[in-house]
Amino acid sequence: MRRSPRDTALSARKITRRSLVLAGAQLAFMGVLGARMRYMQVEEADAFRLLADENRINDQVIAPARGRIYDRNGLTIADNVPSYRIVMVRENVPDVEQTLDELSQIVPLSDEDRAQAIRALRGSPRAPVTVLDRVSWDDLSRVAVNGPALPGVSPEVGLSRIYPLGSEFAHVVGYVGRVSQSDLDRYEDPPPLLRIPRFQIGKVGVESKEEERLRGKPGVKRVEVNNTGRVMRELDRTEGKPGADLQLTVDHALQSYVQARLGEESASAVVIDCETGDLLAIASSPSYDPNKFVEGISVADYSVLRDNEYRPLASKTVQDTYPPGSTFKMVTLLAALDAGIIGANDTFRCNGFLEVASRRFHCWKGSGHGNVDLEASLRESCDVYYYELALKTGIERITAMARRLGLGEKHGVPMSAESSGVAPTREWKRNRFGKDWVIGDSVNASIGQGFVASTPLQLAVMTARIATGRAVSPRLVKTVDGIEQPTGAGAPLDLNENHLRLVRRAMFTVSNSRRGTAYGSRIIADGLRMAGKTGTSQVRNLQSERERFGRVLKDDEVEWRRRDHALFVNFAPADKPKIAVSVIVEHGGGGSKTAAPIARDITLQALYGEDPPLDAYPAKDRDRIRAQQATLRRLRREQEQNGGGSQA
């Protein structure tokens, strides 16, 4: 059947409209596609080029510069130095073993370095692992030139810690070291910085205690790497925040002198400012070089330190506790005065011993001191006088006074392993040993023996509090980023000033009366005379020696470890105290013989700020002091040339 012309024309018009609609749709689609292609190829070309298969963008953490540490006069005692290193990213390394083989052909790579790198590379595949640290510029350049042949390996420049003064501040500042698993375990969610292999973190001392301040905040850099893992360019960088700079209260010149004066002894000394509580010197001897620990100390070097019987790694000033011996007698005396049990003119008879509960407690002077009053009891260090006070005063009052004077508690200085010491009570003994307190415990405690234990820092604080009548507290950090920190001047102790004057006067006679136990170590310079107290703390059973040998053996008759500790505490000038000093010489024998001369020399050095004139010393000592000063000056020059104090 033939279609009419009218139907044919109508059908043609419909086909034409559909063609136009389809063509329009196709044109619109092509337009959108063209616009999108233009956007991707022109406007976003750089971004998509970087995201191509053969390239990749990595975000990397930037370690901030660690805060520096200075002494009170601005001398740098912990600094950062540029450190060149070779790093590797496991994700970009086709074959770790082969790449390390190729790297070892370019730079020296020990078996130990290789093993450490392989262990570290087992961690996060995208984290940069330090394969070699502190490499030379030549080695760094060779790795950079051979970069295309070492996929995933790249040279970097960072910062590493250094201690310019070496061992002088080792026990105060401490040192940094690589992050260990135990460091990470202290955090529920460790900061990203700590996950960087070989990142350095404070291990001991101020470096550890002030870690959060010193570490700073990390930055981030965005880099382009090619398909072999080689960094092509840096795209963006957000700098982190450097760690805070700390200024300590310690004076380098005085610290250096104290370290040299302690010499080869196993000893410690603390010098504290009576007005502010600033620790002007806080030294343990012997010391060690903290720089050896920064990158990991060798087994041989560590063994030398560990096996030394003088324990150079111990921070004796805050970590070790000792029976304070007769330096504790001021505590017992003030407790008795405060309780109204004794007066300045009251006396006790010393016949060389006191019998308590069928046991004899001996005085250091076997023949006895005769009738002894308050001043003589300290001047001549009569033990029986304090045995009598203990029976009348009781341990609770004595311990309460000890705590008021700063014993038996931590003072919060940012140094490692600070000990609280022991200021014993009946309850303390019951909890510690499951035994009741007996009267003999009080007698022993009255002269700083038995359960009583104190650190050199606590004894310096005690002396400063007696000198000032205020609750002086030790301060080690002076400023943080230039901002002054609170001082340790302290509030009044609310002790009777007349009682304090009696004790100070008695301490003055210890050093300035011919019958005083420290008269041989006195200061004769007008206006600088010191008030002090000797101490000798027992480390062996003297009663057992009496029973076995019929007498107490002399120190030179027993091995070093069984000899008495020598102690001395003092403040000066006596009429207007500026500083307080404590010195302990382990197994050094009598305090008057060993510790007092050291403390006297340190006191004069601190007061003068330089080698004191010879006329500050008694005439009989001047030739010896002249030779001693020359020797110490030579030692300090050698220390400065070697970058620190004497090393163990």
Residue 413: which of 171, 586, 603, 585 has the closest Cα? Answer: 171
Say if CB 534 and CB 595 are below 8 A apart: yes
For the segment 249-273, the average pLDDT, to the nearest whole number, is 96
> For 108-135, how does the pLDDT look when each residue is reduced to its tens digit (9 = 90+)?
888 888 887 787 777 666 667 778 877 8
pLDDT recorded at residue 648: 39
Task: Check whether residue 240 and residue 288 sit in a common domain.
Answer: no
The CATH number of the domain where 479 resides is what? 3.40.710.10
Supply the CATH number for residue 238's domain: 3.90.1310.10
Residue 53 has pLDDT above 60, yes or no: no
| Same domain as 244, residue 116 | yes
547: confidence class by pLDDT, cuts 50, 70, 90: very low
Q: Where are the beta strands (DSSP E) in 163-299?
A: 175-178, 200-204, 219-226, 231-238, 246-248, 267-273, 279-285
8 Å CB contact between 333 and 374: yes
Point out the least confidently predicted range of 18-22, 177-181, 352-356, 378-382: 18-22
What confidence score (pLDDT) does residue 54 get? 46
Residue 326 annotated to the active site: yes
Domain-located, residue 104 = yes
Residues 226 and 104 in one domain: yes
Q: How many folded domains does the chain comprise?
A: 2
Whole-angstrom distance, CA of residue 312 vs CA of residue 315: 8
Examine residue 43 and state whether it is found in any structural domain, yes or no. Answer: no
Q: Which of 36-45, 236-245, 269-278, 357-366 has the lowest mean pLDDT?
A: 36-45
Whether 6 is covered by a domain: the verdict is no
Whether residues 147 and 257 share a domain: the answer is no
Provide the pLDDT confidence category of residue 80 given band limits of 50, 70 and 90: very high
509 part of a folded domain: yes
Are 434 and 406 in a shared domain? yes
- pTM over the 0.95 mark: no
Q: What is the pLDDT of residue 9?
A: 63
Statement to judge: residues 257 and 244 lie in one domain: no
Contact yes or no for 396/387 (Cβ under 8 A): no
Does residue 644 have a pLDDT over 50?
A: no
pLDDT over 70, % of the chain: 87
Q: What is the pLDDT of residue 482?
A: 95
Residue-wise pLDDT for 411-450, tens only, equals 999 999 999 999 999 999 999 999 999 999 999 999 999 9
Residues 105 and 200 in one domain: yes
Q: Are 563 and 588 contacting, i.e. CB atoms less than 8 angstroms apart? A: yes
Which of 212, 230, 248 terminates a domain? The answer is 248
Q: Determine, yes or no, domain membership for 276.
A: yes
Number of H helices and E strands in the chain, helices first, is 23, 21
Tell me whether residue 405 is in a domain. yes
What pLDDT, on the 0 to 100 scale, is given for residue 7?
63
Residue 585: both structure tokens together: 């010489």
Distances (CA, A) of 306 to 117, 322, 450, 562: 28, 21, 29, 20
What value does the mean pLDDT take over residues 295-316? 92
DSSP H helical ranges for 232-363: 252-262, 291-294, 299-307, 329-338
DSSP H/E element including 34: helix 5-38
Q: Verify that 336 and 435 share a domain, yes or no.
A: yes
Mean pLDDT of the region 514-527: 96
Instruction: Answer whether residue 3 is part of any domain.
Output: no
pLDDT at 331: 98
Average model confidence (pLDDT) across the chain: 88
Q: Who's near 593: CB < 8 A, 6+ residues apart? A: 566
Give me the pLDDT at residue 6, please: 66
Please indicate, yes or no, whether residues 231 and 275 belong to a single structural domain of this protein: no
Residue 54 located in a structural domain: no
Q: Are residues 412 and 521 in the same domain?
A: yes
Q: Which residue of the set 160, 315, 326, 446 is catalytic?
A: 326
Same domain assignment for residues 541 and 638: yes
pLDDT of residue 536: 94
Query: Where does residue 277 fall: left (phi above 0), alpha (psi -120 to 50 degrees), or beta otherwise?
Result: left
Residue 332's alpha-carbon distances to 19, 238, 383, 472, in angstroms, are 114, 61, 11, 20
Q: Judge contact between 259 and 77, C-beta under 8 A.
A: no
What span, in angstroms and rounded, lies between the C-alpha atoms of 268 and 265?
A: 9
Identify the pLDDT of residue 638. Answer: 78
Answer yes or no: do 367 and 220 share one domain. Answer: no
Domain span including residue 232: 59-248
Q: Which two tokens stand for residue 458?
A: 């606590």
Note the pLDDT of residue 109: 83
